[in-house]
Structure 1
Amino acid sequence: MPKISNTGKNMPESPIRKLVPFAEKAKSKGIEVFHLNIGQPDVKSPSCALEAVKNNTIEVLAYSNTDGSESYREKLANHYFAKSNIKLKAEDIIITTGGSEALLFALGSITDPGDEIIIPEPFYANYNGFSSSLSVKIIPITSKIENNFALPDIEDFETLITSKTKAILICNPGNPTGYCYSKEEIQQLAALVKKHDIFLIADEVYREFIYNKGAKHHSILGDFGLEEHGILIDSVSKRYSMCGARIGYLISRNKDVLTTAKKFAQARLSPPTYAQIASEAALDTPTSYFDEVIVEYKSRRNLLIEELNKIEGVKATKPMGAFYCMVELPVDDAEKFSQWLLEDFSDNNQTVMVAPAAGFYTTPGLGLNQVRIAYVLKKEDLKRSVELLKIALSKYKN
């Protein structure tokens, strides 16, 4: 019988999606499942983006340019300058099929099999998959729930750098932690990657979502001297509630990175045409849209934390941005508990689905009693979800 590759065998499952079959089975029994496991916003996509597709008169749905339509890249460059005073050119940008493809292009452009990238953990679980598919080794550096998952000491980063280290990868604000790095923390990272002549890759897909008073997102494209060392990953998925568009982009001022990434882009031909039309139009979304969304998410975050803190034995962080919260539960194995929620628990024909957090770590044994909660549901559903969690924990102990 033909054999499956070791690459395929070693490809990790997604902790966000691996329990979906259990959720579907619960639904088939008539149980309502509140999905706190995945960051699928429930806010409406901007009408300007949807109308741009509906009203388009394309007669031949042709390939776009390999690196994305020029009009979209020009508009993106202008948007960065108008929004953040960051100067870019259209040729600094490659449009990709989601932020996932942008990260794959970035890693493929700067690493060889056996090379290493350093990532603060817990981190977005699919970083494991991207790295595994390229035979790149993740070197984790652990941030802790006790200090809200702040950046670990920069000296600890430096001890991990070897001749195989090619980059440090951060998500800012963080998925799954919601932590937003300060200007001083980005400056420390910038100085470190320049000292060792490696790259700093920043996944900034949640940069619009900052909730703490006085907190601010600091892009690596800003005044940090990372012209040759910075690679930015971004996406329209969360910002505009357009996850299904599958449009992201890679930005760098390093010409060698862009030239190499473009070869990967050529191999997949082009990003989707209609989705680019929607994404380009989305740049015209009024500020009021984001103001309303941020107020709503902040309100949801506050409600979630308030309700979680009422449950004995539960420890919840207070995220500064994005829309995720890391939660420590009074259980030995959060994955078993998460599966039990779907297989064996319901209250008034309702249950809740969370993401076990061990999959957001690579250090064995970490995150076993933690889950990630995405607060993307309306507040009444969010409150009911925490109530279900409280009832479930009580029953699970017994």
Structure 2
Amino acid sequence: MPSVSTKGKNMPESPIRKLVPFAEKAYKANKTVYHLNIGQPDIKSPEIAMKAVSEHNLEILAYTRSEGSEEYRKKISAYYHRNNIPAEANDIIVTTGGSEALLFAMGSIADVGDEIIIPEPFYANYNGFATASGISIVPVISKIEDNFALPPISEFEKLITPKTKAILICNPGNPTGYLYSKEEIQTLAEIVKKHDLFLVADEVYREFTYDGSKHYSILEEESLAQNGIIIDSVSKRYSMCGARIGCMVSRNKEVITTALKFAQARLSPPTFAQIASEAALETPQRYFDNVITEYQDRRNTLVNALKAIPGVTVGEPKGAFYCIAQLPVKNSDAFAQWLLEEFDDNGETIMVAPAAGFYSTQGVGLNQVRIAYVLNKESLIRAVEILKIALEKYKD
């Protein structure tokens, strides 16, 4: 009998999606499920983007250029310049979501057996992308007790080997909501320059920062012109997850030339989604002002409610729309499944993402969950109430 690949066997399950079958059983049992597990915003996509697709005048749905249409890339460049990021159209490759941008970046800078250092916990799919690329993730652990702050330089430098090709960060962070300061970006710049590495920054949540904080991009740092690679996406910025449009950005011409070969192999990004994404760049600032105010209110509502539950510790997010909560349970995977299979409060339950899948270090994060605050405040309050009742009833 033929067998599947070792690579396939080693591909990790998504901690965000692997509980879906249990959620479907809960639906069939007529339970209401509050989804705290996935970063699918309930904010409406910009009307201007939706109209651009519905009112198109295309007669042929043709391929675009492998790097994305020139007009769209020029408009992305203008967006970056408005955000103090000196990236030109030729520094940009449009991709099928930020996921493809990450795959292109890994494929362009690392060979099989090479290593990338990532502060953990990190976006769970980094594990999958690294496995698919034959790359090893070397974790630097950040702790909930320190609100997931960047570890000392010494923690990075002692992990650097001849196989190390890059440091990868998510800023603001998924799953922690951690926002890197300008000083921390400059510290990372010093490390990668000293050791001749790349610094890859997943900046898809750039717009979502709170408490007056401001995002500082790695390409605002002139010293990273040849070392920096940005991963970006329209998914969260414009609440357009289904568009599957992202981009990879670097001022290093060799990196872009190499990534373009990967882009050519998959032909082109989707045409309609580029039309929508190009139009979305005209979204007025008031859209983001309203969204940021809403998310900050949701964050405050969620974090304050979680802190009121005995035995729960929660990180304080400064950006994105996630937080990590540490629960008084031994295994959050078992707890999350129990919530869907065996528990309800007046016919209602919740779905969370077990956090162990956001680490590559075995045995870390077993009692943690990631919570996305993409529901309205009333739903968040009810969801945390359900969590409190569940924790009182749950037996490990």
**TM-score class, shorter:** over 0.9
Q: Which residue of 2 aligns with 1:341?
A: 339
> What's the CA shift for 1:87?
2.1
Q: Which residue of 2 aligns with 1:153?
A: 152
Q: Secondary structure at the match of 2:223?
A: coil
Q: Which residue of 1 aligns with 2:261?
A: 263
Matched letter for residue 81 of structure 1: H
* Gap runs ≥5 in structure 2: none
CA contact (8 A) 2:87 2:250 kept: no
Q: Secondary structure at the match of 1:221?
A: helix
> What's the CA shift for 1:397?
3.7
In 1, Cα distance between equivalents of 2:17 and 2:332: 15
Matches for 1:1-398 after TM superposition, within 5 Å: 1-82=1-82, 84-213=83-212, 215-397=213-395
In 2, Cα distance between equivalents of 1:369 and 1:224: 41
CA contact (8 A) 2:314 2:323 kept: yes
Q: Secondary structure at the match of 1:299?
A: helix
Matched letter for residue 44 of structure 2: K
CA contact (8 A) 1:227 1:252 kept: yes
> What's the CA shift for 1:273?
0.2
> What's the CA shift for 1:364?
1.2
Matched letter for residue 264 of structure 1: F
In 2, Cα distance between equivalents of 1:66 and 1:281: 20
CA contact (8 A) 1:70 1:90 kept: yes
Q: Secondary structure at the match of 2:224?
A: coil
Matched letter for residue 377 of structure 1: L
For residues 254-313 of structure 1, give each alpha carbon's deviation from its aligned partner in whole angstroms, at most 9, with x where no partner exists: 011001100000000000000000000000000000000000000000000111111100
Identity of aligned residues (%): 68
> What's the CA shift for 1:212?
2.1
> What's the CA shift for 1:86?
2.2
CA contact (8 A) 2:313 2:327 kept: yes
> Normalised by the size of structure 2, how large is the TM-score?
0.99
Matched letter for residue 2 of structure 1: P
> What's the CA shift for 1:155?
1.3
For residues 367-391 of structure 1, give each alpha carbon's deviation from its aligned partner in whole angstroms, at most 9, with x where no partner exists: 0000000000011111100000000
In 2, Cα distance between equivalents of 1:79 and 1:333: 44
In 1, Cα distance between equivalents of 2:255 and 2:29: 51
* Gap runs ≥5 in structure 1: none
CA contact (8 A) 2:113 2:134 kept: yes
Matched letter for residue 238 of structure 1: K
For residues 65-106 of structure 1, give each alpha carbon's deviation from its aligned partner in whole angstroms, at most 9, with x where no partner exists: 000000000011111112x12222110000000000000000
Q: Secondary structure at the match of 2:324?
A: strand
In 2, Cα distance between equivalents of 1:330 and 1:131: 32
- The number of aligned residues is 396
> What's the CA shift for 1:147?
1.2
Q: Secondary structure at the match of 2:220?
A: coil
> What's the CA shift for 1:154?
1.1
In 2, Cα distance between equivalents of 1:90 and 1:268: 20
In 1, Cα distance between equivalents of 2:86 and 2:365: 40
In 1, Cα distance between equivalents of 2:210 and 2:257: 37
> Normalised by the size of structure 1, how large is the TM-score?
0.99
CA contact (8 A) 1:122 1:143 kept: yes
In 2, Cα distance between equivalents of 1:177 and 1:169: 15
In 1, Cα distance between equivalents of 2:287 and 2:272: 22
Matched letter for residue 292 of structure 2: I
Matched letter for residue 326 of structure 2: E
User: What is the alpha-carbon root mean square deviation over aligned residues?
Assistant: 0.8
CA contact (8 A) 1:49 1:279 kept: yes
